[in-house]
Amino acid sequence: MNILVCISKSPDTTSKIAFTDGGTKFDENGVQFIVNPYDEWYALVKALELKEAIGGKVTVISVGDASNDPIIRKSLAVGADEAVRVDAADTDALFVAQQIANYAKEHDYNIILTGKETINYNGGQLGGMIAELVGLPYVAMATKLDLVGDLATIEREIQGGSEVLEINGGFVLSAAKGMAEQRIPNMRGIMAARSKPLNVIPPSGGESHTSVVNYELPPAKAQCKYIDAENAGELIALLHSEAKVI
């Protein structure tokens, strides 16, 4: 069973979020980049678990320039067998989906995993778009996956609960918490990653219909109003009369 895992580069979760060029560009100054946590902890590790159980190959794919290579190597260190980088700017999700769908079709992948969203753009779009472009079923926000032969049993989060689905044959899913547990790469993995293949390929067509015009930071909070712990109950009245939220 060969599995394709989509990985994206995102700023470390503790990064200071700031913008340059009149609010049009993310300020990368001093920012540490990581594999998007949902892609790494859930999608990639689940793919590795499946491979360990039933054999096959795990390929990671990322769309971006050479600055993505460190996070691709990290994914190889965690355990992916090989990597592909489509050498193009990730202008929007549809463009990225077209690149990945083209690669998947050409190389006959019919199990494709993504994280539920990136922590920088919070789009949550890639998996559904790829599914449409390659003509496979799509399950969003999946928290469990079992494969027996061609039969996949997938649990996904729904409003106020979860549902268990069955799909016969290939599928695309976006992985959420519960799917797998984060794996920390060991020294052997890190050494091995250096010699695993990372194929850089040119983009193949594709178009974008969206672009970020500018960024802004949320308005600063007013001063915090302190209530004495002894009279904590006063809060309830304030929430009603002053904050007007209850």
Ligand X SMILES: Cc1cc2nc3c(=O)[nH]c(=O)nc-3n(C[C@H](O)[C@H](O)[C@H](O)COP(=O)(O)OP(=O)(O)OC[C@H]3O[C@@H](n4cnc5c(N)ncnc54)[C@H](O)[C@@H]3O)c2cc1C
Residues 190-209 that bind other proteins (CB under 8 A): 207, 209
The Cα–Cα gap between 51 and 175 comes to 17
Q: Residues 7-36 vs other proteins: string with x where CB under 8 A?
A: ----x-xx--x-x-----------------
Q: Is residue 45 within the footprint of other proteins (CB under 8 A)? A: no
The Cα–Cα gap between 9 and 37 comes to 9
Q: Is residue 246 within the footprint of other proteins (CB under 8 A)? A: yes
Nearer to other proteins, 188 or 221 (CB): 221
Nearer to ligand X, 37 or 56 (CB): 37
Sequence letter at residue 70: P
CA 200-180-74 angle, 5° bins = 30
CA of 35: how far to CAs of 43, 69, 211, 242, in Å? 11, 10, 23, 43
Choose from ligand X, other proteins, none: what does 224 bind? Cβ within 5-8 Å by kind: other proteins
Nearer to other proteins, 147 or 238 (CB): 238
CA of 151: how far to CAs of 6, 86, 158, in Å? 22, 31, 21
Q: Which of 6, 34, 38, 72: binder of other proteins (CB under 8 A)?
A: 38
The Cα–Cα gap between 218 and 242 comes to 22
**Closest approach of ligand X to the CB of residue 58, in Å:** 22
User: Which residues are bridge partners to 138 per DSSP?
Assistant: 172
Q: Counting beta carbons within 10 angstroms of the beta carbon of residue 53, is it exposed (0 to 12), middle (13 to 18) or buried (19 or more)?
A: exposed
**Closest approach of other proteins to the CB of residue 66, in Å:** 23
**Closest approach of other proteins to the CB of residue 126, in Å:** 7
How many chain residues are in contact with other proteins, going by CB under 8 A?
Answer: 83
Choose from ligand X, other proteins, none: what does 29 bind? Cβ within 5-8 Å by kind: none
Nearer to ligand X, 22 or 233 (CB): 233
The Cα–Cα gap between 95 and 205 comes to 8
Q: Is residue 96 within the footprint of other proteins (CB under 8 A)? A: no
| Range in contact with other proteins (rule: CB under 8 A) among 44-52, 59-67, 121-129, 193-201 | 121-129
Which parts of this chain interact with ligand X (CB under 6 A)? 13, 37
CA of 224: how far to CAs of 95, 220, 221, 233, in Å? 44, 12, 8, 17
Cβ pair 61, 83 in contact under 8 A: yes
Q: Residues 136-175 vs other proteins: string with x where CB under 8 A?
A: -xxxxx-x---------x--xxxxxxxxxxxxxx----x-
Nearer to other proteins, 195 or 231 (CB): 231
